[in-house]
Amino acid sequence: MSSKNDLPQLEILPKHVAIIMDGNNRWAKQRKLPSLAGHKAGVDSVRAVLEVALQQGIEVVTLFAFSSENWKRPAEEVSGLMELFKWALRRETKRLHKYQVKLKIVGDRTAFSNELQQLMLKAEALTANNTKTTLVIAANYGGRQDITTAARQLALQVSKGELNPEAIDEQKLQQYLAFEDLPDPDLCIRTSGEQRLSNFLLWQLAYTELIFVDAFWPDFRQQAFYETLKVFISRQRRFGGREETTAS
């Protein structure tokens, strides 16, 4: 993260950008490298995206780092990803703090090692009062899991007589979601050419603009992110309403 590659300031920006970082394995395979090399190269793309977010003034960037389904991958790859996660937290947290980035990690942490959980807590504590941009890492996260957990919390309140079922509405359920204190994403980007959400932020993406780019995640750097923001600006968001027309 630096100011070396400043890009022209955009007038309209998404407050919250969510990214499905896809294509690390295929990037590595093309280069006859182990899959972990692709994941490690992807860390540089995280830095690149954050650099543009900071420069442009984007409030929140959420990255889908590890889904609740990713445990099904080969054990060697999962183990390598856990080590990479620890490496990235140790190496990048001070950099995030320097640039006033607040780190928030969402998802079920209980499946992670105690060492990794402690690193998460320390990174969040160090950056807790930063106000420039919030970086959200979704780790062991799934959209269906998120909604199910919220529903369970509401059901528990109903069973205890603390909540009338008639009082349950969207706002009440959202209070128990992992992103309850953040605005819904305005833009969701998926790299590598795949066009699906893969159980990511299913509730929160209801009216989000979706942009699918062909580049593998390790190749998605500053200019690519900037161009994607420009595509977002060109769209008219209607949130279920009708496009406004101007009388001539």
Give the tens place of pLDDT for each residue, 169-207: 999 999 999 998 999 999 999 999 999 999 999 999 999
- 10, amino acid identity: L
Mind listing the pLDDT tens digit for each residue in 201-223?
999 999 999 999 999 999 999 99
Q: State the Cα–Cα distance between residues 133 and 27, nearest whole angstrom.
A: 29
Mind listing the pLDDT tens digit for each residue in 62-110?
999 989 888 988 888 899 999 999 999 999 999 999 999 999 999 999 9
Q: State the Cα–Cα distance between residues 175 and 10, nearest whole angstrom.
A: 32
* Beta strands at 16-20 and 133-141: parallel, antiparallel or unpaired: unpaired
Bridge partners (DSSP) listed for residue 62: 18, 136
Domains of the chain by residue range: 16-143+183-232
Q: State the Cα–Cα distance between residues 168 and 153, nearest whole angstrom.
A: 12
Residue 248 has pLDDT above 50, yes or no: no
CATH number of 16-143+183-232: 3.40.1180.10
Nearest alpha carbon to residue 209 among 182, 181, 190: 190
Supply the residues annotated as catalytic: 22, 70
Tell me what pLDDT residue 129 has: 98
Q: Which DSSP helix (H) or strand (E) runs through 66?
A: strand 60-67
Predicted model pTM: 0.91
Under the banding of pLDDT at 50, 70 and 90, the label for residue 6 is confident
